Chains A and B, each alone.
Chain A
Amino acid sequence: MSASILFDTPGPKARRRILAVNIIGALIALGIVAWIILGLAAKDQMQASQWDDFIESSTWKNYLLPGLWNTVKAAIFGIVGSVIFGLIFGVGRLAQNKLINGVSTVIVEFFRAVPVLLMIVFFNVFFSRSLQLPGDTAMWAVVAALIFYNGSVVAELVRSGVHNLPKGQREAGIAIGLTRGKSLRYIEIPQALVAMLPALIGQFVVILKDSALGYIISFNELLFFARTYSSPNGNVLQALIVAAAIFIIINFTLSKLAVIVSRRLSSRVKKDKTAAANPAAVVGAPADLGTQAGQDREDPKA
């Protein structure tokens, strides 16, 4: 329901009133912004010296860009891995074999219920101490945790994507003599993948945000670099705002992309219900994709 349905088309009197409230609202908004800026200024946080650092090329070259590169690297590994994981276990949950189905269900439900941070902390110690792996174990710990959690979410997307296809698709597959598995592979999954694309892009936002949890195990990502750079300079507040701005710009672009893709696809994808793909999914815990694929939110996760 669009907002306008909640109220009548305003007449001249209501329009005047709305205009008045609108101006008050705008003043309140400006007031909040001014209050924040003046408040920061009053605490000596708006001095040029504290912000200058972030327009110097050396800061970007030595700290922010290498950090961003690590964040993006972890996110890309996480995205690729979770799509593969999601396809395997999503198909597993659709399998008719009870054993495969059961194992996939347990794995997917388990990893969706465990906090990503818990997995990151565990994999970090497990990789570096128990397995004594070489290389950047902190990064691989983050990647592994991202894959297990988000892969499980993607598995649910695959499953609900297939469930939301019109029944005739599978029936047509069986009618032309395909087995259940073949009809899944050649007919249903390809369509489900297209239908779930917006929700999948929304999940990338979650992956990118969750990669910042690597900060806790000293993975050299954007947030970690922003923090280590700013600590000795006494401008942690400013550094956190800059890091947040970078995340917001990337994620906002991704979310917009999801909306565009979803609009493009709406003509192409046939859905049983309207539930199939909601691009706004960003919280991180679409717990009940059966009823609400993609879920408005998302992620809230980290």
Chain B
Amino acid sequence: MENYLSIFTEYDIPGAFWVNIQLTFWAAIGALVLGTILALLRISPVGSFQAIGTSYVNLIRNTPLTIIILFCVLALYGQLGFVLSSDFQNNFFRLAVLGLAVYHAAFVCEAIRSGVNTVPLGQAEAARAIGLSFLPAARMVILPQAFRGAIVPLGNTLIALIKNSTVAAVGSVATESSSVMKTMIEFRADIVIPIFLTFAVGFVIIVIPVGLLTTWASKKLAVAR
């Protein structure tokens, strides 16, 4: 037991989770913005815009996240010299955020599109009847309801993003939890299972409230029809 407890003083476990939460936070903002733009492109009446949105989603969604993050670090930074911060460590962090945002934007786009599907036809018709054109109708009538209808898939995407933030390990973000756990179990072969369970339970503690909150919010914010 003492042996086990010593890992908490030797390693900064809450700090490792904090890095994952930060990765998630910034990537979630990026993915939400990019995903909303993509969703707008996909539901627009313009064929070429739809094609851009659809190609993005199909390409990104079918690529492993590992490749995307590796691409950001090895290709963008390593081979092309693309730098997001002058600080060496911070640069890797931001590149990982970029990769996570690009990847999850495709899923946010699909979540919002599925939210748009929950908006009844009459809403779009009413918006047009009072003279709103596409963008004002989308901004003031369709999207507010679509977001509320998309809470469950958006929440699922957020949960996936939290877990996927561990993949930043391939992007040389050595302070996040999967990298820290890797170091720990390599040095403490005697307590491999307790260490794994500690980190696993940490994620369960983060993920389950998000799931409960999503379910609660989706009911609370459901558009009464």
The reply on B113 being an interface residue by CB < 8 A is yes
- The answer to whether A288 touches B156, judged by C-beta atoms less than 8 angstroms apart, is yes
Give min CB distance, A238 to chain B, whole Å.
9
User: CB-CB < 8 A to B200: which residues of A?
Assistant: 110, 113-114, 118-119
Q: How far is the CB of A197 from chain B (nearest CB, A)?
A: 19
What are the residues of chain A within 8 A of B121 when measuring CB–CB? 1, 5
A121 within 8 A of B: yes
Asked whether any CB of chain B lies closer than 8 Å to the CB of A276, the reply is: no
Segment of B6-14, B90-98, B104-112 in the binding face: B104-112
| Smallest Cβ-Cβ distance to B127: which chain A residue | A6
Do residues B46 and A285 form an inter-chain contact, with CB atoms below 8 A? Answer: no
Select one of B74, B117, B153, B169 contacting A240, CB under 8 A: B74
Contact check, B66 vs A212: say whether CB atoms are below 8 A apart. yes
A223 contacts B67, C-beta separation under 8 Å: yes
B192 in contact with A209 (CB, 8 Å): no
Contact call B164/A301, Cβ cutoff below 8 A: yes
> Apart from A125-B192, A126-B193, A236-B75, what are 11 other A-B pairs with CB-CB below 8 Å?
A1-B121, A43-B79, A117-B166, A209-B65, A212-B64, A248-B58, A295-B156, A297-B110, A298-B107, A300-B103, A300-B106
Evaluate contact between A248 and B181: CB separation under 8 angstroms.
Answer: no
Q: Which of A199-219 contact B (CB under 8 A)?
A: 205, 208-213, 215-216
Q: How far is the CB of B75 from chain A (nearest CB, A)?
A: 4
A237 contacts B by Cβ under 8 Å: yes
A122 to B178, CA, bound (A): 9
- Contact status A45-B189, CB under 8 Å: no
Which of A17-25, A79-87, A96-104, A157-165 is the contact stretch? A17-25
Do B218 and A291 touch (CB < 8 A)?
yes
B46 pairs with A25, CB closer than 8 A: yes
Q: How far is the CB of B2 from chain A (nearest CB, A)?
A: 21
Query: Within the complex, which residue of B48, B79, B116, B153 is in contact with A22, where a contact is CB–CB below 8 Å?
Result: B48
| Interface presence of A251 (CB below 8 A) | yes
Between A and B, 27 residue pairs with Cβ closer than 8 Å are A5-B124, A6-B134, A8-B128, A24-B48, A25-B46, A43-B79, A113-B159, A114-B163, A119-B200, A122-B196, A126-B196, A130-B192, A209-B63, A212-B65, A216-B169, A216-B170, A237-B79, A240-B67, A240-B74, A240-B75, A244-B64, A287-B156, A288-B155, A288-B214, A291-B218, A298-B61, A300-B104
Given A3-B45, A6-B134, A297-B111, also A248-B62 (CB < 8 A)? yes
| Contacting pair A300 B128 (CB below 8 A) | no
A260 smallest CB distance to B (angstroms)? 16
Distance, CA A40 to CA B80, complexed state (A): 8
Whether B153 and A296, one on each chain, are in contact in the complex, defined by CB atoms closer than 8 angstroms, is yes
Q: Which residues of A contact B155 (CB under 8 A)?
A: 287-288
B51 within 8 A of A: yes
- Which residues of A lie under 8 Å from residue B137 when comparing CB positions? 6
**Docked-complex contact A121 and B185, CB < 8 angstroms:** yes
Given A114-B203, A121-B182, A125-B192, verify A297-B52 contact (CB < 8 Å): no
In the assembled complex, the CB of B126 is this many whole angstroms from the nearest CB of chain A, namely: 12
| Contact mask for chain B residues 170-213; partner A; CB cutoff 8 A; 1 contact, 0 none | 10000001100110011001001100100110011001100100
**Is A69 among interface residues, defined by CB-CB distance under 8 A?**
no
Q: Is A125's CB under 8 angstroms from B189's CB?
A: yes
Chain A 216-244 interface residues, beta-carbon cutoff 8 Å to B = 216, 223, 227, 234, 236-237, 240-241, 243-244
* Interface residues of A, count at CB 8 A: 76
Query: On chain B, which size bracket covers the interface?
Result: 35 or more
How many angstroms from the CA of A236 to the CA of B62 in the assembled complex? Answer: 20
Q: Which of A10, A114, A223 contacts B70 (CB 8 A)?
A: A223
Residues of B within 8 A of A29 (CB): 48, 51-52
Q: How far is the CB of B39 from chain A (nearest CB, A)?
A: 11
Chain A residues whose CB sits within 8 angstroms of the CB of B164 once the complex forms? 115, 284, 300-302
Report the separation of the CA atoms of residues A212 and B164 in the bound assembly, to the nearest whole angstrom. Answer: 13
Contact call A45/B71, Cβ cutoff below 8 A: no
Closest-by-CB residue of B relative to A116 is B163
On chain B, the residues within 8 Å of A216 by CB distance are: 66, 169-170
Q: Which one of A8, A121, A282, A288 has the highest number of Cβ atoms from chain B below 10 Å of its Cβ?
A: A121
A178 at the interface (CB under 8 A from B): no
Residue B167 is within 8 A (CB to CB) of chain A in the complex? yes
Whether A302 contacts B65 in the complex (CB less than 8 A), given A25-B52, A115-B166, A287-B214, comes out as: yes
Nearest first, the 10 A-B pairs at minimum CB distance are A25-B48, A285-B160, A212-B64, A251-B62, A237-B75, A115-B163, A300-B160, A302-B65, A300-B107, A122-B196
Given A287-B156, A295-B156, A301-B164, CB of A236 within 8 Å of CB of B78: yes
B66/A223 in contact, CB under 8 A: yes
Most buried by A among B68, B160, B185: B160
